[in-house]
Amino acid sequence: MSDAAGGSRIFLRKASGLIRTASGTDTYIYNTGLVSIGLGVASIMLYGPAFYPGGDLVWACMLAGVMMALIAFGLITWTVTLPRSGGIYVFGSRSMFPVLALTLSLVEITAWLFYCAIAAYWMVYLGLSPTLTFIGYLSGDQAWVDAGAWVVSPWPMFLIGSGILILSGIILSSGMRFYLMVQKWVFAVAVLGSIMLIAVLLPYSNADFVASFNALMGPILSVEDPYREIISSGREAGWAWDGQTDWTQTWLVSNWPFLPLVGAAFSIAIGGEIKSVEKSQKWGMLGAVATATIVWMITIALCTDRFGYEFLGTAAFNFLGGTGVQVDPTITLLAGVLTGSPLICILVSLGFICWMWMWIPGMHTFGVRAIVAWSFDRIAPEAWGKISPTRHTPMVAIWTCIAVTVVFMALFVFTAFFSAIVILIEAAVLAWSIVLGAGIFFPYTRPEIYEKSPIAGRKVLGLPLMTVACTLGFFAAQFYFWTLFFDPTAAGHDPQQLMIVAGVFVIGIVFYLVMKQIRKSQGIDVSLAFKEIPIE
């Protein structure tokens, strides 16, 4: 493939250098890990009852699960039609203006790389700190409690978090096969942690928890009945619930299960490295959505019954707002209180930490594959597309992304620059909806590409399968974009935060135009790459 104008190759090289190493099981583990079932439970239970009193968390999970399955359905048709690594950039660059495709891809990977830093933060905040604190409560040793507070102070948090991010880079640099093997072991520990949490909750009742909580926390908080005092002080501070299900709150609180469920479709980033792509992507995406939704529904129902919805709401409301009688309401800590066992707390926390870890190399991989795809199309520096001939690993791209996430970690820990942390996912969901919208028309606008797809002959009501799937996915993605947009607790539309997103768009446009001009000066017409299927 040569550029007719200057004789230069259109793509960076004849083949990407990435190889198909991921099986259907690997794809399922990759996506389920990026959902992060444990982190999902922790965030749903922390923010749900506190800020959406009356919202039914089980129904919220069902709504989010159905909508995410529709989004995944649309993305499956895209990744089957263009089975290449690079995420939505690959789809967008072959179906819309390339400058828009690159900009949407930049918005997307900015979000995912930022959440690498957030995952490292949460590993400490929701995993390590509550475990240390509970050991201190149970042993009566204040040093453990102090250690739990110390690890979430700025410098320890930054150093521990940065170490976690760098470890991710080391694992990814060792090759895709090694990374997938590590993920299997981490996944096994994470699943055991979730099973243990369910098993721990099953034999107990709310009365058991109240008795255990009061016995342990009464002396620590110097309150005779801390369980009731937390509820009372939370209501006095403004938390209100009349005991009835509020369906508007249920709709809004569904943002919180939807946000982690986005990870169920992340295997679009590694489409060129998946064997039996159609079967593997369907199993990997839809299987991840179904697994997470079912586990959440079971776990949340048990947590709500054992700990009490009112207690969970007021405890988190007090803790997050700095009001009333306060205690850390993290689910791992409450499970330890229920059993009175530091071992249980440690093991369940370890499972949660493993779930959170799986976010980090997975999201790094997403960012890496996107900038590698840019480089293949000659709209990014050649170094980003360089692949190790022995490990089949893009080393420069990996460490570029690691550096970006460490910077994000510093911004998040030391500044208020990213105070509304979900705003970037909101922007990424918008980017996905635009690409899904383009997929509605792709069979008609690029028939020379679509007709080579294994789903080209499949119809629904006389329409191409891709058109139907992307229509459903587009409306589901738009549903959650606007739900997030009008929910100030989850994301909202704070002008300062929207300016950050707008800044990313501007950077993407400028980057594309500069690179296009550079390539033009080298005798390369980058637009020619977008007329062909990306290299494999």
Strands 463-464 and 459-460: antiparallel
Residue 6 — pLDDT band, cuts 50, 70, 90?
very low
Q: Which of 489, 514, 321 is nearest to 420 (CA)?
A: 489
Is pLDDT of 88 > 90? yes
Q: Count the Cβ atoms, other than its own, within 10 Å of residue 192.
A: 15
The pTM of the full predicted model, rounded to 2 decimals, is 0.92
Angle at 370 between CA 366 and CA 371, to 5 degrees: 125
More confident residue, 23 or 131: 23
Residue 225 confidence (pLDDT): 93
Residues near 501 by beta carbon (within 8 Å), at least 6 away in sequence: 107, 423, 424, 427
Residue 419 confidence (pLDDT): 57
Residue-wise pLDDT tens digits, 121-157: 888 987 888 888 888 887 888 999 999 999 999 999 9
Residue-wise pLDDT tens digits, 315-340: 999 998 888 888 889 888 898 889 88
Residue 292 confidence (pLDDT): 97
Indicate the average pLDDT of the chain.
91
Region of poorest pLDDT, from 249-253, 272-276, 473-477, 489-493: 489-493
Region of poorest pLDDT, from 162-166, 297-301, 338-342, 466-470: 338-342
Q: What is the 3-state secondary structure (H, E, C) of 79-134?
A: HHHCCCECCHHHHHHCCCCHHHHHHHHHHHHHHHHHHHHHHHHHHHHHHHHHHHHH
Structure tokens at 308: 């009490």
Distance, CA of 26 to CA of 381 (rounded, Å)? 30
Structure tokens at 145: 């409690």
Residues near 177 by beta carbon (within 8 Å), at least 6 away in sequence: 21
Q: Count the Cβ atoms, other than its own, within 10 Å of residue 282.
A: 17
Residue 227 confidence (pLDDT): 96
Residue 51 confidence (pLDDT): 95
Is pLDDT of 305 > 80? yes
Residue-wise pLDDT tens digits, 205-241: 999 999 999 999 999 888 889 999 999 999 999 999 9
Q: Of how many residues is the chain composed?
A: 536
Region of poorest pLDDT, from 76-80, 303-307, 332-336, 403-407: 332-336
CB of 18 within 8 A of CB of 85?
A: yes
Burial class (CB in 10 A: 0-12, 13-18, 19+), 173: middle
Region of poorest pLDDT, from 89-93, 103-107, 165-169, 530-534: 530-534
Averaged pLDDT, 157-179: 95
Residue 497 confidence (pLDDT): 79
DSSP state of 274: B
Structure tokens at 498: 């929207």
Determine the 3-state secondary structure of 403 from DSSP.
helix
Is pLDDT of 529 > 90? no
Is pLDDT of 373 > 50? yes
DSSP for 202-252 reads TT--HHHHHHHHHHHHHHHHT-SSHHHHHHHHHHHHT----SS--HHHHHH
Averaged pLDDT, 82-89: 94
Distance, CA of 363 to CA of 164 (rounded, Å)? 13
Q: Count the Cβ atoms, other than its own, within 10 Å of residue 273.
A: 24
Measured N-to-C along each axis, helices 423-445 and 495-521 cross at an angle, to the nearest 10 degrees, of 50
Residue 67 confidence (pLDDT): 98
Burial class (CB in 10 A: 0-12, 13-18, 19+), 517: exposed
Element housing 43 (H / E): helix 37-51
Residue 8 confidence (pLDDT): 46
Averaged pLDDT, 348-358: 89
Distance, CA of 529 to CA of 536 (rounded, Å)? 13
Residue-wise pLDDT tens digits, 248-284: 999 999 999 999 999 999 999 999 999 999 999 999 9
Residue 500 confidence (pLDDT): 82
Element housing 464 (H / E): strand 463-464
First-residue to last-residue Cα distance in the chain: 13
Residue 15 — pLDDT band, cuts 50, 70, 90?
low
Residue 415 confidence (pLDDT): 84
Distance, CA of 355 to CA of 37 (rounded, Å)? 6
Residue 496 — pLDDT band, cuts 50, 70, 90?
confident
